[in-house]
Chains A and B, each alone.
Chain A
Amino acid sequence: MSNPQQLRYSKEHEWLSVAEDGVSTVGITEFAANALGDVVYAQLPEVGSTVTAGESCGELESTKSVSDLYSPVGGEVTEINEDVVNDPSLVNSAPFEGGWLFKVRVAEEPADLLSADEYTAFSAG
């Protein structure tokens, strides 16, 4: 699996896109999606709510387990991916594209986000 170069990554296995007009897109990595197995339910943060970097803002449920969803950055949620709410399997089939989870107006960005190469090494370790 390859992690897109233009994204940055958290150690909780979320990815973050480069902000456009201050808004970034958040999803989970292919590594995380594979580890979860088939995602069957996604509880995403509400539009307009504030998320905090490194804190739980929702949950992803798979056949075998439920996992907290962490936001890699802090800010206001501007949009959630209704397609994923309706068809959570998108998280497995296209984690870096159609399976994105939410968009956030970034107010706070932690300094320890990883580059694609750093994340690849981290998730292999």
Chain B
Amino acid sequence: MSSTAPRRTALDALHRSLGATMTDFAGWDMPLRYGSERDEHLAVRTKAGLFDLSHMGEITVTGPDAARLLNYALVGNIASVGVGRARYTMICRADGGILDDLIVYRLAETEYMVVANASNAQIVLDSLVERAEGFDAVVRDDRDAYALLAVQGPESPGILKSLTDADLDGLKYYAGLPGTVAGVPALIARTGYTGEDGFELFVSPADAEKLWLALTEAGAPVGLIPCGLSCRDTLRLEAGMPLYGHELSTSLTPFDAGLGRVVKFEKDGDFVGRGALEAAAERAASQPPRVLVGLVAEGRRVPRAGYSVVADGQVIGEITSGAPSPTLGRPIAMAYVDAAHSAPGTTGVGVDIRGSHEPYEVVALPFYKREK
């Protein structure tokens, strides 16, 4: 990151007026929490929460070869995504290392929007531009063209319905359609990073405040509150969703991260990383290195990223994310551990928390799954 002052979203003044605790996140000054992060977490699980996610990086890819380009540049079969649908995918290096995880929306036959993590948006943009050589497609940096608001939680469909004529009942999970919300033109996507039903609304930064206020007004009676990045992290952790820089990195392939399903070898044509990923798939099947697992504490001390996972006095893995889980009422973590200790129910596993070995239970991910 450069040493310049952090960037501010279109909602910055609003966050400050709400008394948000702000934090520097990937070069952006973002709300960490407005009040209690536990209350914010529980609001999303039981009612609704409103997030400013304008730090996310939007990149538009257009042109006759847009689908072919994305099939070459990314590991998923992007050409097979229907118009109005979205896909979770990854962009890898030639050696198979993960550059970022992405959501790609197909907005039209020859138009896609790629949404990258803020910390990786420049790398993703540069890689797409480089990989676009020879394709009849244009890669456009649209990071400044959008503000992104998310409404997440079981009350979110009702809240949004009161503000739009768009057919939300027809909008499936991982789909997106253009519409109008509170008089504001928006791309309405049924996506999120919380494990709950919810929507992400891509709008012009000039409209962000109007939309935020309308959502707050419509949602407050049913318990919607503004939510910061702190609870977004515990929500995604409970839902077993990976976070780049924690569970995902350039030194891991999707297969190492237990996400080999996003790599589509059967798609037409070559793609960046194919050879290395075929080898990685074989390696993961025959002699898995470390495996991503869930850990639940028996005690109350919280594991943090980088702490060692131990068994019989030996280090057998490393924590990638850890937090107190508001839903489970106990600390939880994701960790890469040696395959021999990765089966749910494995006993004798602990976490080295500042010198003391605290007992943990190995569980299958996710920790939390909503009832549909």
Contact = CB atoms under 8 A, between A and B. Distances in A.
A63 B230 contact: yes
A63 B35 CA distance: 13
Interface in A60-109: 61, 63-64, 66, 89, 92
Interface residues of B, number: 16
Interface in B6-50: 21, 32-33, 36-38
Contacts of B304: 66
Main secondary structure of the interface of A (DSSP, over half): mixed
Contacts of A34: 21
Interface stretch (A4-12, A36-44, A115-123): A36-44
Interface in B198-244: 230, 234
A37 B301 contact: no
Interface centre among A61, A64, A66 (most CB of B within 10 A): A64
Nearest to A59: B354
B302 A37 contact: no
B172 interface: no
A81 to B, nearest CB: 16
A64 B36 contact: no
B161 interface: no
B302 A41 contact: yes
A43 B356 CA distance: 13
A41 B301 contact: yes
Contacts of A63: 37-38, 230, 234, 323-324
B324 A40 contact: yes
Contacts of A37: 21, 32-33, 36-37, 230
A43 B323 CA distance: 17
B261 interface: no
A34 B34 CA distance: 11
A66 B305 CA distance: 12
A34 to B, nearest CB: 8
B300 interface: yes
Nearest to A61: B302
A38 B37 contact: yes
A23 B302 CA distance: 32
Interface of B: 21, 32-33, 36-38, 230, 234, 300-302, 304, 323-324, 331, 354
13 contacts: A37-B32, A37-B230, A38-B37, A38-B38, A40-B302, A41-B301, A41-B302, A41-B324, A43-B301, A61-B302, A63-B230, A64-B323, A89-B38
